[in-house]
Amino acid sequence: MNERDHGGGLDAAIARWGGERDGWLDLSTGINPVPYPLGDISPGAWTALPDKAAAERLKAAARSFWQVPEGAGVLAAPGASALIARLPALWPKGHVEIAEPTYNEWRAAFDGAGWATGPGGATVAVHPNNPDGRLAPPPGAGLTIYDESFCDVMPGASHVARAGGDVLILKSFGKFWGLAGLRLGFLIGAPEPLARMAEMLGPWPVSGPALEVGARALEDAGWAEETRARLAADADRLDALIQGAGARVAGGTTLFRLYEVEEAAAWQERLAEHHVWSRVFPYAPGWLRLGLPAPERWAQLEAAL
């Protein structure tokens, strides 16, 4: 199987341009560089099988944070990618329309499950989209799946209020809370497809530490509000910096910015020489995507430009 194009890939960059991992500024992903503080994790979260009470606490926190409507359920999973890979198997093979270009695991999942491309069946939309940040319209007729992995920076745009029936919402914990390594994702929708997904995932799909940290973070509404404000200010700062170097803003969210440049590969190489890693796209040679630097790492990016 060919490796699919994603952000990350820092090992290959280090192999080519040298340096130590800690010295590299990885801006190739859209992960919050100031993660939610883990705090203390109880010893039992590591040593015992995840218990029902911890799972119910996480589910209740998710339902409250995302204002999940009555009648719709919430299912926690070991990362959004685990859900994407399994979702096509919930229904008989048919046609799927995916709003592209977008996160390529959606196409891979449906193609791998034998679905055909075209209208008249299911619809998948990443909302806001990765990499250009466009927003998807309200659902039409038929099965609609919204990937809201980056929507927590703009909760007012969420389609969660429409969850249920033929509308499913995917949420990623790793992006906004900056804890991608925790591997935690959520599926919101009608109870019946969630029950089938739960059967696919098997018992104890979410680790004890992820249950504990996830619930704590989702219950912390103050941190979320402060983080949205900080991300917005940092995104504006990044835009000003990159535009000053000759790029044009082409879209994005406050977790990642997309820029139009003359030759993205040349930009990526120049930044890499200063151990700053960026994201380019094989289908759009003029697109450069950058995540946000951590507060103490802006000087490295400024020097690279």
In the 3-class helix/strand/coil scheme, how is 25-36 assigned residue by residue? EECCCCCCCCCC
Q: Tell me how far apart the alpha carbons of residues 255 and 233 are, in angstroms, rounded to a whole number.
A: 11
- Give the pair of three-digit tokens for residue 6: 């994603």
Strands (E), 8-60: 25-26
Contact 4, 104 (CB under 8 A): yes
- Per this entry, what is the length of the chain? 305
pLDDT given at position 279: 96
The CB density around residue 202, as the number of other CB atoms within 10 Å, is 7
Q: What is the pLDDT of residues 188-223, one digit of tens each?
A: 999 999 999 999 999 999 999 999 999 999 999 999
| pLDDT one-digit tens code per residue, 41-53 | 999 999 999 999 9
Distances (CA, A) of 41 to 57, 64, 78, 179, 214: 15, 22, 18, 15, 11
Give the bridge partners for 117, in sequence order. 96
Give yes or no for residue 1 having a pLDDT over 60: no
Tell me what pLDDT residue 9 has: 84
User: Is pTM beyond 0.85 here?
Assistant: yes
Residues 82-106: pLDDT tens digits?
999 999 999 999 999 999 999 999 9
**pLDDT for 79:** 97
**Strand, coil or helix: 299:** helix
Alpha-carbon gap, residue 217 to 1, rounded angstroms: 36
| Predicted pLDDT of residue 8 | 65
| Listed residue (207, 278, 233) closest to 34, CA to CA | 233
Note the pLDDT of residue 27: 97
CA dihedral 204, 209, 213, 216 (to 10 degrees): 70
pLDDT tens-place string over residues 112-150: 999 999 999 999 999 999 999 999 999 999 999 999 999
The pLDDT value given to residue 2: 44
**pLDDT tens profile 223-274:** 999 999 999 999 999 999 999 999 999 999 999 999 999 999 999 999 999 9
